[in-house]
């Protein structure tokens, strides 16, 4: 059975890029590709000898390659197209530029047309003529996974079950199904190529960008490429605990994808605390062969960097792997907009009316791939005026446009989105009438039947269906739709009550702030007169235990005022906040923040303060750590005298007993953990001595010498671990989207 592709959706420019990949990477020849208007009748050219990679044919002389793209599906090649080329063939042949003429088209070639066309071309002066039609191009795509990786949007122009290898497809079938509609519009950007290179060279990529910038799409395609090239199994990691549980050191063939690594819409300090404890394990996973992709909104990662142990995982601060995905060239923007408008459901008249303004729209400062997708859907453009000002306003004010769309929904549609929102973006199918759903619908004044009909009407515009094994659920078509609804909830006290009545405590901990709007991304701010509801839900919640963090403490520490924290602990033992190891005496440790904030607010008893201080001092001296002295989180706890005495004791112990301490630590290495982690506390203290003016010059010089010795020990131990090696991912060679002059990318968008 042959595989067909909807090549008519590509557009003339993307079709020429596809042809360039076919000639360069499949047929085996690099071409000179001409900008429109500069070729004198040639889209690409070559001069010399050319033997195809499969050695089936050999050619000699000058080559002229011409592309003919049609926007009409299943359209036969008319002989008139070939006749229009004959004068060019004569002119080029007489100039010695057309010994071999190749015509590539997505037209279907009817019987007899190819032979007749090739005869006419030869009669006009070419020595050889070959015409390749839609069926040949489709077969070439189906037979060459490399070509699919180089032009990844092809994945969205055919049946994934036919064109992706069974192994790769089984590994991420549900994920690929969910992005299939957008694959046909994907443009291989600079960030896409940089990501492939970084994965091979460093084993890790952090994709950063604001919402709607395309992070998830690139991560999806990296997972697919890693499965095809390296046979890695894709694992979706939703939390640090998932990583700890799912990573298998005995199976290095794993592609680990961590979406929204440090929080979904706002920074989750709890995540940073958990990742900090797992960074040695993450480094070990990469070193043994796993490949890891993190994604994060840029403002969330900016907040996370303050708390992450960058020294334990330097790649978090490495520009080679930290990639800003929204940095797009003008032509990349144009082709993204073209693809979404062409593949969208806008009527012909709309495309014609806005065509003249599309190049300006692609240049707007706020241009993002997701906004381009919405522009292709009438659901989002109902209020748009098809003028230059109206089109530019749509791209320059995407948040307002989306908020207006969500605000203007009918009651049943708004309730449908509300149920998905309250369910944390995973509303089970079918929707059952349990007490939470029924109560929510009663408060919103709609019936379950009306909501079920609304869910269907919103499919593929604001919502979409996802299947995860045997579980199917409704989720948001894009996270920014969730953001818009959260803004709506946050601006309406009645909707806050509906939200609090229906949301799970686990989800509430990720979304709510109490009495303050200081957390970027926080849309739902609960006023003081609803604190009793918050405390009630916290008291009823029994979170799953992890050795690294406590979600309730993280919520109280970062999203609640001191009076709410004190009220919560009024009947509880606050001693659970006292740290039990040096790595918990950090600025992002929830227990430390709670104790410090209560201390500064005068809400912490002196008895608890003294117990906490004694524990901090004992741990620090035992682990040779001056971490507490560099931690603003201990403010309100240690007095100046307590801090000074402890620093003196620890620094003296290290400088006088360094040989014994380093040898003891070296003997503790288990050959599985990161050697650098062994010496992290001691090295941190030595760095503190080295840079702090309170120490004399001799102490600082000795600290520097000891730090150099530690580096040698780490290098010595690290040499015992072999790095995994990977072949080059072909996505690195994906054809660049070149600038074009003369013909507009949008020339055939309304055809």
pLDDT in tens, 644-667: 899 999 999 999 998 888 888 888
Produce one character per residue of 419-458: b if its CB has 16 or more CB atoms within 10 Å, e if not: bbbbbbbebeeebeeeebbeebbebbebebebbeebbeeb
Q: Does 272 share its domain with 336?
A: no
Torsion sign over Cα 392, 6, 137, 177: positive
What pLDDT was estimated at residue 435?
A: 67
What pLDDT was estimated at residue 171?
A: 45
What's the token pair of residue 234?
Answer: 């894709």
Only one residue has tokens 């958990």, namely 274
Range 437-455 average pLDDT: 86
Is pLDDT at 321 greater than 60 in this prediction? yes
Give the H/E segment covering residue 254. Answer: strand 254-258
Is pLDDT at 166 greater than 50 in this prediction? no
- Domain with 26 in it: what CATH number? 3.40.1350.10
Q: Does 240 share its domain with 364?
A: no
Whole-angstrom distance, CA of residue 310 vs CA of residue 317 = 7
141 vs 705 pLDDT, higher one: 705
Q: What is the largest CA-CA distance in the chain?
A: 101
Q: How confident is the model at residue 750 (pLDDT cuts 50, 70, 90)?
A: confident
What pLDDT was estimated at residue 358?
A: 93
Is pLDDT at 729 greater than 60 in this prediction? no
What pLDDT was estimated at residue 39?
A: 45
The DSSP-derived string for 307-319 is TS-GGG-GGGG-T
| Least confident residue range of 42-51, 74-83, 461-470 | 42-51
Instruction: Measure the CA dihedral 435/439/440/441, to 10°.
Output: 110
Range 249-262 average pLDDT: 84
Q: Does 29 share its domain with 64?
A: yes
Range 234-241 average pLDDT: 83
65 lies in which domain range? 7-143
Alpha helices in 108-249 (DSSP H): 113-123, 134-143, 145-150, 160-163, 166-171, 173-183, 190-202, 215-230, 240-246
Q: How confident is the model at residue 159 (pLDDT cuts 50, 70, 90)?
A: low
Cis bond upstream, residue 354 (ω within 30): no
Q: How confident is the model at residue 160 (pLDDT cuts 50, 70, 90)?
A: low
Q: Are strands 471-476 and 427-428 parallel, antiparallel or unpaired?
A: antiparallel
Whole-angstrom distance, CA of residue 321 vs CA of residue 188 = 17
Is pLDDT at 569 greater than 90 in this prediction? yes
Range 229-244 average pLDDT: 81
Q: How confident is the model at residue 723 (pLDDT cuts 50, 70, 90)?
A: low
Contact indicator for 180, 160 with CB cutoff of 8 Å: yes
| 27: in domain | yes
Q: How confident is the model at residue 455 (pLDDT cuts 50, 70, 90)?
A: very high
Give the H/E segment covering residue 688. Answer: helix 680-691
Whole-angstrom distance, CA of residue 368 vs CA of residue 346 = 19
Q: How confident is the model at residue 34 (pLDDT cuts 50, 70, 90)?
A: very low
The segment with the largest mean pLDDT, out of 82-91, 429-438, 511-520, is 82-91
End-to-end Cα, the chain, rounded Å: 30
Range 504-522 average pLDDT: 80
pLDDT one-digit tens code per residue, 364-410: 988 888 888 889 989 888 888 889 999 998 888 887 788 888 888 88
Query: Which of 109, 143, 177 marks a domain boundary?
Result: 143
DSSP H helix total and E strand total for the chain:
35, 15
Query: Which of 396, 430, 454 marks a domain boundary?
Result: 396
Residue 466's Cα: distance from chain center in Å? 18
Residue 189's Cα: distance from chain center in Å? 14
Contact indicator for 415, 451 with CB cutoff of 8 Å: yes
The segment with the largest mean pLDDT, out of 2-6, 286-290, 346-350, 434-438, is 346-350
| Least confident residue range of 7-21, 51-65, 196-210, 331-345 | 51-65
What pLDDT was estimated at residue 547?
A: 67
Whole-angstrom distance, CA of residue 550 vs CA of residue 311 = 24
* 3-class SS string, 34-64: CCCCCCCCCCEEEEEEEECCCCCCEEEEEEE
Alpha helices in 541-679 (DSSP H): 551-559, 562-568, 590-600, 606-622, 640-656, 658-667, 675-678
The strand pairing partners of 132, in sequence order, are 104
Range 594-623 average pLDDT: 89
Only one residue has tokens 């144009």, namely 334
Q: Which of 437-445's residues contact partners 24+ apart within 8 Å by CB, and which partners?
A: 437/502, 439/501, 439/502, 440/415, 440/498, 440/501, 440/502, 441/415, 443/497, 443/498, 443/501, 444/411, 444/414, 444/415, 444/418, 444/498, 445/411
pLDDT one-digit tens code per residue, 288-307: 888 999 999 988 898 888 88
What's the token pair of residue 528?
Answer: 């003081």
Is pLDDT at 742 greater than 90 in this prediction? no
Give the H/E segment covering residue 341. Answer: helix 330-343
What's the token pair of residue 414?
Answer: 């708004």
| 377: in domain | yes
Is pLDDT at 84 greater than 50 in this prediction? yes
Q: Does 180 share its domain with 284?
A: yes
Contact indicator for 568, 535 with CB cutoff of 8 Å: yes
What's the token pair of residue 583?
Answer: 């790595």
| 408: in domain | no
Q: Does 213 share its domain with 67?
A: no
Alpha helices in 428-492 (DSSP H): 435-444, 448-458, 479-490
Say how many C-beta atoms besides its own lie within 10 A of residue 666's C-beta: 15
Q: Does 302 share its domain with 378?
A: no
Is pLDDT at 37 greater than 50 in this prediction? no
Is pLDDT at 739 greater than 70 in this prediction? no
Q: How confident is the model at residue 537 (pLDDT cuts 50, 70, 90)?
A: very high
| 477: in domain | no
What pLDDT was estimated at residue 35?
A: 43
The segment with the largest mean pLDDT, out of 14-23, 55-64, 505-514, 720-729, is 505-514
What's the token pair of residue 618?
Answer: 């004992």
Q: What is the mean pLDDT of the chain?
A: 82
Residue 368 sits at the vertex; the CA angle it makes with 362 and 374, to the nearest 5 degrees, is 90
- What does the radius of gyration of the chain's CA atoms come to, in whole angstroms? 31
336 vs 34 pLDDT, higher one: 336
What pLDDT was estimated at residue 517?
A: 56
pLDDT one-digit tens code per residue, 99-142: 888 888 989 888 888 889 999 999 999 998 889 888 888 888 87
What pLDDT was estimated at residue 724?
A: 54
CA-closest candidate to residue 427, choices 485, 363, 382, 386:
485
| 359: in domain | yes
Contact indicator for 333, 362 with CB cutoff of 8 Å: yes
What's the token pair of residue 623?
Answer: 């682990």
- Domain with 252 in it: what CATH number? 3.40.50.300
Q: Does 278 share its domain with 200?
A: yes
Range 263-276 average pLDDT: 83
Total number of domains constituting the chain = 4
What pLDDT was estimated at residue 568?
A: 93
Q: Does 214 share its domain with 181?
A: yes
| 565: in domain | no
What pLDDT was estimated at residue 539?
A: 92
Whole-angstrom distance, CA of residue 507 vs CA of residue 541 = 11
Q: Does 172 share its domain with 275?
A: yes
CA-closest candidate to residue 547, choices 277, 239, 269, 304:
277
Q: Does 212 share its domain with 295?
A: yes
Q: Does 217 share its domain with 235?
A: yes
| 338: in domain | yes
Query: Which of 352, 379, 396 marks a domain boundary?
Result: 396
Q: Does 190 share its domain with 240?
A: yes
| 505: in domain | no
What pLDDT was estimated at residue 323?
A: 92
What pLDDT was estimated at residue 561?
A: 92
Is pLDDT at 180 greater than 70 in this prediction? no
Q: Are strands 233-237 and 204-208 parallel, antiparallel or unpaired?
A: unpaired
Whole-angstrom distance, CA of residue 168 vs CA of residue 164 = 7
Angle of helix 479-490 relative to helix 493-502, nearest 10 degrees? 120
């Amino acid at each position: 059975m042959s595989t067909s592709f909807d090549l008519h959706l590509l557009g003339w420019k993307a079709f020429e890029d596809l042809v360039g990949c076919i000639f360069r990477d499949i047929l085996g020849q690099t071409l000179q590709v001409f900008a429109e208007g500069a070729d004198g009748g040639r889209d690409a050219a070559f001069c010399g000898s050319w033997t195809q990679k499969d050695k089936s044919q050999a050619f000699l002389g000058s080559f002229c390659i011409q592309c003919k793209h049609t926007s009409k599906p299943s359209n036969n090649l008319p002989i008139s197209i070939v006749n229009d080329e004959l004068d060019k063939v004569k002119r080029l042949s007489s100039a010695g530029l057309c010994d071999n003429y190749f015509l590539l088209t997505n037209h279907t070639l009817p019987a007899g047309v190819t032979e007749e066309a090739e005869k006419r071309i030869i009669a006009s002066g070419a020595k050889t003529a070959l015409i390749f039609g839609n069926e040949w191009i489709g077969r070439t795509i189906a037979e060459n996974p490399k070509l699919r990786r180089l032009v990844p949007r092809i994945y969205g122009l055919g049946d994934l079950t036919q064109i992706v290898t069974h192994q790769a497809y089984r590994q991420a079938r549900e994920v690929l199904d969910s992005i299939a509609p957008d694959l046909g519009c994907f443009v291989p950007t600079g960030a896409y190529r940089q990501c492939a290179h970084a994965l091979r060279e460093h084993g890790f990529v952090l994709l950063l960008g604001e919402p709607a910038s395309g992070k998830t799409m690139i991560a999806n395609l990296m997972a697919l490429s890693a499965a095809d090239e390296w046979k890695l199994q894709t694992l979706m990691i939703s939390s640090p605990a998932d990583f700890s549980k799912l990573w298998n050191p005995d199976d290095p063939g794993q592609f680990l994808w961590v979406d929204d690594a440090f929080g979904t819409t706002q920074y989750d300090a709890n995540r940073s605390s958990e990742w900090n404890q797992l960074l040695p394990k993450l480094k070990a996973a990469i070193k043994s062969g796993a490949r890891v992709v993190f994604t994060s909104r840029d403002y969330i990662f900016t907040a996370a960097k303050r708390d992450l142990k960058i020294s334990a995982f330097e790649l978090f601060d490495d520009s080679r792997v930290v990639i800003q995905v929204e940095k797009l060239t003008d032509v990349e923007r144009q082709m993204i907009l073209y693809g979404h408008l062409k593949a969208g459901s806008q009527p012909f008249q709309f495309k014609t009316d806005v065509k003249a303004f599309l190049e300006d729209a692609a240049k707007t400062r706020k241009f993002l791939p997701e906004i381009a997708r919405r522009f292709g859907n009438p659901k989002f453009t109902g209020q748009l005026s098809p003028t230059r000002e109206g089109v530019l306003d749509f791209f320059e004010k995407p948040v307002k446009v989306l908020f207006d769309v969500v605000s203007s929904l009918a009651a049943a549609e708004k309730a449908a989105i509300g149920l998905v929102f309250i369910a944390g973006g995973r509303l089970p199918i079918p929707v059952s009438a349990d007490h939470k759903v029924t109560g929510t619908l009663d408060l919103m004044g709609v019936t379950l039947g009306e909501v079920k009909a609304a869910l269907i009407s919103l499919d593929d515009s604001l919502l979409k269906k996802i299947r995860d094994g045997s579980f199917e659920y409704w989720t948001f078509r894009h996270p920014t739709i969730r953001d818009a609804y959260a803004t709506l909830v946050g601006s309406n006290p009645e909707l806050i009550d509906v939200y609090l009545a229906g949301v799970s405590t686990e989800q509430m901990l990720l979304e709510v702030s109490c009495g303050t709007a200081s957390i970027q991304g926080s849309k739902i701010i609960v006023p003081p007169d609803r604190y009793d509801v918050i405390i009630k839900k916290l008291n009823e919640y029994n979170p799953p235990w992890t050795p690294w963090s406590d979600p309730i403490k993280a919520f109280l520490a970062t999203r609640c005022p001191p009076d709410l924290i004190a009220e919560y602990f009024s009947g509880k033992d606050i001693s659970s906040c006292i740290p039990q190891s040096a790595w918990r005496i950090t600025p992002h440790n929830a227990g430390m923040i709670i104790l410090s904030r209560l201390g500064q607010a005068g809400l912490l008893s002196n008895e608890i303060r003294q117990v906490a201080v004694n524990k901090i001092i004992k741990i620090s001296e035992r682990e040779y750590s001056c971490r507490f002295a560099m931690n603003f989180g201990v403010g309100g706890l240690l007095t100046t005298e307590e801090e000074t005495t402890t620093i003196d004791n620890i620094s003296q112990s290290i400088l006088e007993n360094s040989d014994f301490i380093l040898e003891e630590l070296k003997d503790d290495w288990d050959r599985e953990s990161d050697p650098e982690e062994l010496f992290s506390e001691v090295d941190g203290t030595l760095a503190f001595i080295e840079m702090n003016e309170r120490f004399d010059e001799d102490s600082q010089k000795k600290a520097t010498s000891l730090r150099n010795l530690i580096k040698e020990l780490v290098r010595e131990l690290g040499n015992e671990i072999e790095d995994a090696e990977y072949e080059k991912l072909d996505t690195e060679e994906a054809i660049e989207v070149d600038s074009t002059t003369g013909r507009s990318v949008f020339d055939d968008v309304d055809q």
